[in-house]
Amino acid sequence: MLSRSFSQVVEKIRDFVVASENGLGKSSLRGVVGLHVVGEDLAEVRSLAVDENYLGQGIGKKMLEVCIQEARDLELKRIFALTYRTDFFAKLGFEKVEKLSLPQKIWGDCVHCAKFSDCDEIAMLLSITE
């Protein structure tokens, strides 16, 4: 995940969904994911993470399904992620694509990343149908 400044977090906080467990009068974070619209018909799944103590319980899948439904509600046609966990995304219908097929991402965000010239993340894309 890319580090973000405080102002970037404040600017994008409404893009995020969290999974939590309520108990003993407090809430405990289990996972987080963001959906960021990057074009007229395209959104990106960002910063999907689940607390390692809760892996394998379907939290990540549920959060990703929330993102997919939100993209449908917004009438977007495609949703993508840059990831190392291709099997996870493939289980929900995402397919590997060339990063260059996502110029909105490359020239909007990636160009500012320290790993830009040597990025090893894999682009995964889901075409959204009704």
Model confidence over 29-77: pLDDT tens digits? 788 898 989 888 999 998 898 989 889 999 999 999 999 999 999 999 9
6-127 is a CATH 3.40.630.30 domain: yes
pLDDT band at 8; cut points 50, 70, 90: low
Smallest Cα–Cα separation from 47: which of 63, 27, 70?
63
50: how many CB neighbours lie within 10 A of its CB? 21
Strand partners, 79: 43, 126
Burial of 49 (0-12, 13-18, 19+ CB in 10 A): middle
pLDDT band at 25; cut points 50, 70, 90: very low
The reported pLDDT for the residue numbered 47 is: 85
Query: Is this model's pTM higher than 0.85 or not?
Result: no
Query: Are the beta carbons of 116 and 110 closer than 8 angstroms?
Result: yes
